[in-house]
Amino acid sequence: MQLEGLAGTLENLLLDQNTLEGCIPAELGCLKKLKVLRLDSNLLSGEIPSELGNLSQLQLLNLQSNQLCGKIPPTLFENLKLEMLHLNNNHLSGPIPSEIGNLTKVRVLTGGIPPEYGNFALQYLSLRGNKLRGSIPAELGRLSTLRELQLGNNCLNGDIPAELFSLSHLTIWFLDHNEITGRIPMNINCLRNLEFLFLNGNRLSGEFPACIGELKKLKWLNLSRNLLSGVVPPRIINLVGLKECDLRENVELDFGLLSIVLAQHAGSFKLWNV
């Protein structure tokens, strides 16, 4: 890839949905003015070059749906203007770097910025469909502007950090198909704007948290294939926006009174419990 003469001028590099092969060239890190880099939906392999952390003006980085491997370089999170990061559907491994918590500052830039990039604080983070291991870094809780968090289909383990429940703007949270253990924290009701909650396919245990009934904007809830127990509170029927609730394969859950209430509110929402 010939980059001579572009380092001081190129702002958008869109090479997505081709059949590009080989490694991502480290020389991309010299494109100091770059704001948007899309290499998604190709056949790229090898590791993510740490030099991409030199792109101090970058707002959108999309490397999803390739064959990238190795660890996520912590240098990616030295760029405080990064708003959208897509690394899902690769073969990335190792832990999620704690440096990800650095993406907290809102920076306003002028001139020629597409409106969908907002105020340049991280709003969308997708690491879905990799081979990431280890615990979820508590530093994610510092990403106060985050609206969508996709960590599903990895090998993450340990408890859900309490710090994540300070993400008051979060609307979509996928943590499905990992190896997460422990209880669902009671302060999950702090996520007042949550619309989609997918924690299915883990090893979560303990009683069904009644405070989920306080998530008034919830539309889709999936807690299936865990080890949850106790009584499912009938109050979740009061979630008027809830369209589907999947609680299958939690063998110790008690649906007793909820079943009676549902019989009186047929068609309110779809409950999967068998």
3-state secondary structure the chain: CCCCCCCCCCCEEECCCCCCEECCCHHHHHCCCCCEEECCCCEEEECCCHHHHHCCCCCEEECCCCEEEECCCHHHHHCCCCCEEECCCCEEEECCCHHHHHCCCCCCCCCCCCHHHCCCCCCEEECCCCEEEEECCHHHHHCCCCCEEECCCCEEEECCCHHHHHCCCCCEEECCCCEECCECCHHHHHCCCCCEEECCCCCCEEECCHHHHHCCCCCEEECCCCEEEEECCHHHHHCCCCCEEECCCCCEEECHHHHHHHHHCCCCCEEECC
Q: How many CB atoms lie within 10 A of CB 77?
A: 20
Average pLDDT over residues 201-225: 93
Contact 40, 86 (CB under 8 A): yes
pLDDT at 82: 81
Q: Is there a contact between 84 and 59 (Cβ–Cβ < 8 Å)?
A: yes
- Rounded Cα gap, residues 240 and 218, in angstroms: 9
Please give the pLDDT value at position 119: 37
Give the model's pLDDT for residue 114. 35
Give the pLDDT mean for 146-168. 93
Confidence of residue 108 (pLDDT cuts 50, 70, 90): very low
pLDDT attached to residue 62: 92
Tell me the pLDDT of the chain averaged across its residues: 84
Residue of 7 and 168 predicted with greater confidence: 168
Paired residues of 128 in beta bridges: none
Mean pLDDT lowest among 191-200, 229-238, 243-252, 263-272: 263-272
| 11 pLDDT more than 90 | yes
Strand partners, 115: none
Select the more confidently predicted residue: 272 or 45.
Answer: 45
Alpha-carbon separation of residue 148 from 73, 96, 167, 241 (angstroms): 21, 16, 10, 19
Largest CA distance in the chain: 71
Check residue 269 and give its pLDDT: 53
* pLDDT of 204 strictly over 80: yes
What is the model's pLDDT at position 274? 47
Q: What is the pLDDT of residue 107?
A: 35
Q: Assign domain 1-135 to a CATH class.
A: alpha beta
| pTM (global) more than 0.75 | yes
The pLDDT of 46-71, averaged and rounded, is: 93
| Confidence (pLDDT) at 4 | 62
Return the percentage of the chain with pLDDT > 90, whole number: 55
For residue 6, count other CB atoms closer than 10 A to its CB: 15
